[in-house]
Amino acid sequence: MTGDPGASFTVTLADVYAAVRKCEDSVLSMQPQKDIIEDHEGRIRGLERWRYALPITLIVTIGNTAAAVAALFLRK
């Protein structure tokens, strides 16, 4: 806290308007970044789907391969 603790100050409507415009400009300048972030999140979700699907795929593949090998040996 700086200055005299007993001092008063005035915030005018022009000051509020200027602060709101500055905030609005900052938000509008972030719009391209929002699109990049959404694309990045979509890519991460895609990678997570592959990561969780891979073990199931491996189990099914190993099971099918074992069944095919067993069928070959049982035919003889």
What are 9-23's pLDDT values in tens digits?
A: 888 999 999 999 999
What are 6-65's pLDDT values in tens digits?
A: 667 888 999 999 999 999 988 888 777 777 777 888 888 888 888 888 888 889 999 999
In terms of residues, how long is the chain? 76
Between 3 and 38, the higher pLDDT residue = 38
